[in-house]
Amino acid sequence: MSLIGKKAPDFNAKAVIKGEIIDNFKLSDHQGKYVVLFFYPLDFTFVCPTELHAFQEKLGEFEQRNTQVIAVSTDSHFSHAAWLNTPKNQGGIEGVSYPIVSDFNKTISRDFDVLLEEDGVALRGLFLMDKEGVVHHAVLNNLPLGRSVDEALRMVDALQHHEKHGEVCPANWHSGEKSMTADQNGLKSYFGG
């Protein structure tokens, strides 16, 4: 089931932000901002902390683009808090400041169709939503494959460029590069014809 072009499923769950437990964290509270919502399998694992730290390292760039980063896993909020209190050099995510949502009952992962039912964990799903909560980009990786934070930023740039200029962004496009109108003339102009 694809969520592309549809409003993202809302949720109300426990989350941890900078060590503080939030009882009623809602996706819908972030309308008016772009949202990058990403799922990861489990706290205290191996690829996962590299991803959470990579998003933290680029958090300022997301914020400059009016984009809220939110992480989700099927761990409890207690596990999230413990992982946040574990130093990076011991496999922890100390210093991560964006929200980490607990999907302990696995409803969020099911709603976004990323849950591996037999394992009770989410695949590495990433969803980009516009300011109204509509999903424009989704990517799904299997458990061993870490994602590219730079690609997530590129997709935020592409969505914002399209919204601002009405143009489409070709393959490997980056902010500041040539885009095109979505017609034959735009295509010919793009290829220099």
Instruction: Show which residues are catalytic.
Output: 48
Within 58-118, residue ranges assigned H as helices are 59-64, 77-84, 107-111
In contact, 49 and 75? CB cutoff 8 Å: no
SS3 189: helix
Sign of the four-CA dihedral 98, 104, 105, 107:
positive
DSSP code, position 7:
B
Amino acid at 5: G
Structure-token pair, residue 136: 């424009």
Helix (H, G, I), strand (E, B) or coil at 45: coil
Distances (CA, A) of 87 to 99, 128, 134: 18, 29, 36
